[in-house]
Amino acid sequence: MTTRNETLFARAQQRIPAGVNSPVRAFRAVGGAPAFFERASGAYLWDADGRRLIDYVGSWGPMVAGHTHPAVVEAVQAAAARALSFGAPTEAEIEMAETICRLVPSIELVRLVSSGTEATMSALRLARGHTGRDLIVKFEGCYHGHADSLLVKAGSGALTFGNPSSAGVPAATAAHTLVLNYNDTAQLEETFRARGAEIAGVIVEPVAGNMNLVVPRAAFLETLRTLCTQHGAVLIFDEVMTGFRVARGGAQAHFGIVPDLTTLGKVIGGGLPVGAFGGRRDIMERIAPLGPVYQAGTLSGNPVAVAAGLATLRLVAAPGFQEAIERTTRALVEGLVAAARQAGVEFSAQSIGSMFGLYFRAAPPESFAEVMTCDRERFNRFFHAMLARGVYLAPSAYEAGFVSAAHGATEIEATLAAAREAFRAL
């Protein structure tokens, strides 16, 4: 019998490439028809077949307060009733900028955009404009959105479908992108020794979440900070995913490393399209119309999207919010490890803040190469076994998972009960 998800998927593919508006949603890595969702509330999603699912994707990060949080919905409704867009400055954008700078003190000046891709693309152009250099450094398996310079050995959907370096990116563009190994401090030092004077900037996920979850080794970020300072390269922390997830002030607060620029997205939009880039005032003052680096956007700082983001950040900044969500995430991970051990399945997992990684290998990977040794087929079977039992994980072995403040003991215990069965069925 054809399910409604399957019917919708067949119809979608007639007019949308692969039936989706972003590749990783297509379930091509895990197989089967993607779920088409109709509504969400708290920790739950309901799909076109009426299935209620516990959600660990959270729209890939934004839904940290849980779906349709009343404070966020009310803020959006009130803003929308006043105006949908002006294309002109509003007081709400000032409040958003002040809030971001207060929560992430390394950001002295910030500009809003409409996606994480716009944020990282703009930050790179700014690093090049500020230094007058062309070379940028990224790390294999890290994903920073789909700007040309960054689609070189990228993670997330690019990695999921085995095309980490996209077609359509001119060789001349890719030539200005140097790709190093995440957590390889020796290679970093050697690269800066050889080409430090050419490097405009280094962009890094301070906790990698697009090749599954990979946590930086202690010296990695510190060495990166030291080398960028020594050679006059701009250190960009791409906190689109880690911002307000790894810690209230992002991964930079967790590790105590101060980047020159930070990119944000996801949580700061609360589910609506908001990105941001910001940092040192002397660098940010190079952005048009103050300086020579052009950047613009019709809907940048959109009042309805900013209302959703501000309401979400107020919830995130509340006392106890981060501590509670970290406890829930740890309980999930510890329970999954215990369930796998009980079933005799080789499995490991870890969490940092409200992000987690699941690995079908004995220990959490510390590099892209180690991620590649995870049993992807086993993950795909586990994904479907959990989906069949009402739990929605990211449909790719190369994505991090996300817990929300709406996940409580009931959701965790239901997830672990499903996992105990799913591990046994592998």
Residues at the interface with ligand KE4 (CB under 6 A)? 22, 24, 60, 115-117, 120, 143-145, 156-157, 205, 209-210, 238, 240-241, 265, 399
Q: Least distance (Å) from ligand KE4 to the CB of residue 20? A: 9
The residue among 99 and 120 lying less far from ligand KE4, judged by its C-beta, is 120
Instruction: Compute the least distance from the CB of residue 146 to ligand KE4, in Å.
Output: 7
Query: How far apart are CB 113 and ligand KE4 at their closest, in Å?
Result: 9
> 330: exposed, middle or buried (C-beta count within 10 Å: 0-12, 13-18, 19+)?
middle
Can 143 be counted among the known catalytic residues?
Answer: yes
By beta-carbon proximity to ligand KE4, the closer residue of 211 and 339 is: 211
Q: Is 266 a catalytic residue?
A: yes
Cα(423)–Cα(215) distance, integer angstroms: 25
SS3 of residue 135 by DSSP = strand
34/209 with CB nearer ligand KE4: 209
Q: Which two tokens stand for residue 32?
A: 């089967």
Residue 138 among the catalytic residues: no
> Shortest Cβ contact with ligand KE4: which residue?
116
Q: Which two tokens stand for residue 63?
A: 């839904």
Determine which one of 44, 56, 143, 359 is catalytic.
143
Query: With contact defined as beta carbons under 8 Å apart, do 416 and 335 qualify?
Result: yes
| CB distance 61 to 272 below 8 Å | no
Q: Strands 177-180, 199-204: parallel, antiparallel or unpaired by DSSP? A: unpaired
* Number of neighbouring beta carbons within 10 Å of residue 168: 7
Q: Quick one: 276 or 331, whose CB is closer to ligand KE4? A: 276
Contact between 239 and 206 (Cβ < 8 Å): yes
Q: Max Cα separation, the chain?
A: 64
Taking the complex as a whole, the smallest distance from the CB of residue 29 to ligand KE4 amounts, in Å, to 12
How far apart (Å, rounded) are the C-alpha atoms in residues 49 and 31? 18
- Given CA atoms 319, 320, 322, 323 in this order, what sign does their dihedral have? positive
- The smaller minimum CB distance to ligand KE4, of residues 210 and 300, is found at 210
Check if the beta carbon of residue 259 is closer than 8 Å to that of residue 105.
no
**Phi and psi for 324 in degrees, rounded to 5?**
-65, -45
Sign of the Cα torsion 102, 104, 105, 107 reads: negative
Which residue in 268, 265, 239 sits closest to 252, CA to CA?
239
Q: Which is nearer to ligand KE4, 144 or 420 (CB)?
A: 144
CB of 425 to ligand KE4, least distance (A): 27
3-state secondary structure of 287: strand
CA–CA separation, 376 vs 360, rounded Å?
A: 7
* Least gap, CB of 203 to ligand KE4 (angstroms): 9
Give least dist CB 197 to ligand KE4, A: 27
Residue with Cβ nearer ligand KE4 (260 or 423): 260
Amino acid at 233: A
Find the catalytic residue in 47, 184, 238, 260: 238
The residue among 206, 267, 318 whose CA lies nearest residue 66 is 267
| Residue among 106, 124, 104 nearest 116 (CA) | 124
Report the residue number, 116 or 303, with the smaller CB distance to ligand KE4. Answer: 116
Angle between helical axes of 185-195 and 218-231 (0-180°, round to 10): 10
Active-site hit among 260, 266, 392, 398: 266
User: CA of 203: how far to CAs of 150, 224, 232, 364, in Å?
Assistant: 9, 10, 14, 23
User: Whole-number minimum distance, CB 300 to ligand KE4, in Å?
Assistant: 13
Give catalytic residue positions.
Answer: 143, 238, 266
